[in-house]
Amino acid sequence: MFETLTKAPGDKILALMGEYAADTRSSKVDLGVGVYKDEQGVTPVMSSVRKAEERILANEKTKTYLGIAGNKGFGAAVLDLVLGNSGVNRSRIRIAQAPGGTGSLWILMQLINRARPGAAVYVSDPTWANHNPIAINSGLKVATYPYFDAATRAVKFDAMLAALDRLTTEDVVLLHGCCHNPTGANLTHEQWDKVAQSLVRTGALPFIDLAYLGFGDGIEADAYGTRKILSAVPEALVAFSGSKNFGLYRERIGAAILLARSPDEADVTNSQLLNIIRGAYSQPPDHGAEIIRTILEDASLRAEWEAELAQMRNRMIALREKLASAIRERSNSTDFDFVAEHRGMFSLLGLTPEAVEHLKAENGVYMTSDSRINVAGIPEERVGDLADAFLAAAR
Ligand code: PLP
Ligand code: TYF
């Protein structure tokens, strides 16, 4: 049977990780895959996570099945985290645990396709490389809306809003809740207000990918757009990930949130979501969910987690400022100041694929071919070298 198959394309980011690992130069720098790294270049287990795991190991009484929606305490805690005291009507909201932000995106795309087979999902230009395949594999169509201005490296907001204003109740808009991947360029709070107003006008369905809550300007600031939209529109979807902000990548923990027009419609829609989960993997794994529940429900663990998250966030912001000012000093220009304006783990430098290839071959500096850098991967003592290399590459 398998003779009918041809080789599927590999994951470019994973291929880049392999190339980096095989590079024997001690001067190599990995700005590729999107995982947080500390000063030592390692992706640590957070101390709050370790403590939660110790408690779980000491207290866990059973490993029996959890149920299709997963860990209920986790769901309630994530809703509190995402919604805060925004006053969103909880009776119209449902949440299901899922394997990572990716698993959440997957089951929600399946849900969209049940509600409106073959609907168009509008994604930002550019967007995370996995959005398109998940939508296509779910039977949906993909279209784009303008987002990144290559000249200013900021959001092309007028063009974005004009495109959103042309959508209809048949369409879905995938928005990055904060910390846009791959560009690092984000909406201001005023711009989120305008997006929410546009969605109310057109009736298009907002679908928010919230993979980096707390990695930008703080939990509250990063949740602004999501809360604004959920407070304004009749229906919405959110894919939450705990991979980055809890450092739980391999535990595969996320959540799918839906907002429906009424409590009754929320129940019906949720029954379809649970049916999708049941027919896919039956139930999610518990460990990551129980860690997050334990942390969020305990005042002292939660304070420790928030402090650890703030430390990661502030380190990334400081690296952004260091790199931008090193480039400014060398070039006497503000051309790279956008690196300090961007938020989250990434910035899109706007280099050609040839320049990216050259940086890898000549300087041992690895980034994805679209010239996205992971700022958490910048070794502090190499900021000057990187500034020189980026300036040379941009010429
Ligand atoms: N969405 C975006 C924009 C991402 O960058 C990621 C990154 O990993 C995810 C979703 C999903 O992550 P995970 O499935 O590891 O939780
Ligand atoms: O964009 C990134 O680098 C992260 C990590 O299949 C990632 O989102 C990359 C590839 C992938 C899953 C996560």
Q: From the CA atom positions of the chain, what is the Rg in Å?
A: 21
Task: Quote the ligand 2 centre to 106 CA distance (angstroms).
Answer: 15
Using one digit for the tens of pLDDT, what is the confidence trace for 25-44?
999 999 999 999 999 999 99
Please tell me what DSSP assigns to residue 75. H
Percent of the chain with pLDDT over 70: 100
CB 98 within 8 A of CB 255: yes
Q: What is the pLDDT of residue 248?
A: 98
Residue 259 predicted with pLDDT over 90: yes
Beta strands in 134-204 (DSSP E): 141-146, 148-149, 154-155, 172-176
Which residue, by CA, sits nearest to atom 4 of ligand 1?
Answer: 211
Q: What is the pLDDT of residue 94?
A: 98
- Using the CB atoms, write b or e for 80-110: b if 16+ within 10 Å: ebbbeeeebeeebbbbbbbbbbbbbbbbbbb
Direct distance between the N- and C-terminal alpha carbons of the chain, in angstroms, rounded to an integer: 52
pTM: 0.97
Residue 195 predicted with pLDDT over 90: yes
Residue 12 predicted with pLDDT over 90: no
Q: What is the pLDDT of residue 346?
A: 98
Q: What is the pLDDT of residue 115?
A: 98
Which residue, by CA, sits nearest to atom 2 of ligand 2?
Answer: 34
Residue 395 pLDDT level (bands cut at 50, 70, 90):
confident
Please tell me what DSSP assigns to residue 375. G
Closest CA to 187 of 199, 178, 200: 178
- Ligand 1 atom closest to 243 (CA): 16
Mean pLDDT of all residues in the chain? 97
- Ligand 2 atom closest to 129 (CA): 1
Structural domain spans, the chain: 10-45+302-394, 65-297
The residues, any chain, with a CB within 8 Å of residue 297's CB and separated by 6 or more, are 73, 77
Which residue, by CA, sits nearest to atom 5 of ligand 1?
Answer: 181
Ligand index nearest the alpha carbon of residue 33: 2
- Ligand 2 atom closest to 102 (CA): 12
Residue 222 pLDDT level (bands cut at 50, 70, 90):
very high
Task: Quote the ligand 2 centre to 83 CA distance (angstroms).
Answer: 26
210 forms beta bridges with: 240
Residue 136 pLDDT level (bands cut at 50, 70, 90):
very high
> Given 1.20.5.50, 3.90.1150.10, 3.40.309.10, 3.40.50.1820, which CATH number is that of 10-45+302-394?
3.90.1150.10
Q: Which of 102, 213, 291, 292 to mutate to test the pocket of ligand 1 (most atoms within 8 A of CB)?
A: 102
Percent of the chain with pLDDT over 90: 97
Mapping DSSP onto H, E and C, the string for 192-256 reads HHHHHHHHHHHCCEEEEEECCCCCCCCHHHHHHHHHHHHHHCCCEEEEEECCCCCCCHHHCCEEE
Sign of the Cα pseudo-torsion (352, 353, 354, 355, in order): positive
Task: Quote the ligand 1 centre to 101 CA distance (angstroms).
Answer: 5
d(CA 244, CA 36): 7
Q: What is the pLDDT of residue 191?
A: 98
Q: What is the pLDDT of residue 182?
A: 98
CB 280 within 8 A of CB 120: no
d(CA 366, CA 357): 8
d(CA 77, CA 74): 5
d(CA 17, CA 23): 10
* Topology alike, domains 10-45+302-394 and 65-297: no
Task: Quote the ligand 2 centre to 33 CA distance (angstroms).
Answer: 6
For domain 65-297, is the CATH number 1.10.390.10? no
Q: What is the pLDDT of residue 107?
A: 98
Which residues are marked as active site? 128, 209, 211, 244
Using one digit for the tens of pLDDT, what is the confidence trace for 101-114?
999 999 999 999 99
Ligand index nearest the alpha carbon of residue 129: 2
The residues, any chain, with a CB within 8 Å of residue 62's CB and separated by 6 or more, are none
Q: What is the pLDDT of residue 273?
A: 98
Residue 10 predicted with pLDDT over 90: no
Residue 388 pLDDT level (bands cut at 50, 70, 90):
very high
Mean pLDDT of 195-208: 98
Closest CA to 394 of 346, 331, 350, 342: 350
Helix (H/G/I), strand (E/B), else coil: 146:
strand
Around ligand 1, the residues with Cβ closer than 6 Å are: 34, 100-102, 128, 176, 181, 209, 211, 241, 243, 249, 254
Q: What is the pLDDT of residue 11?
A: 84
Around ligand 2, the residues with Cβ closer than 6 Å are: 11, 13, 33-34, 128, 130, 181
Mean pLDDT of 323-335: 95
Q: Which of 105, 130, 366, 371 to mutate to test the pocket of ligand 2 (most atoms within 8 A of CB)?
A: 130
Closest CA to 319 of 340, 341, 292: 340
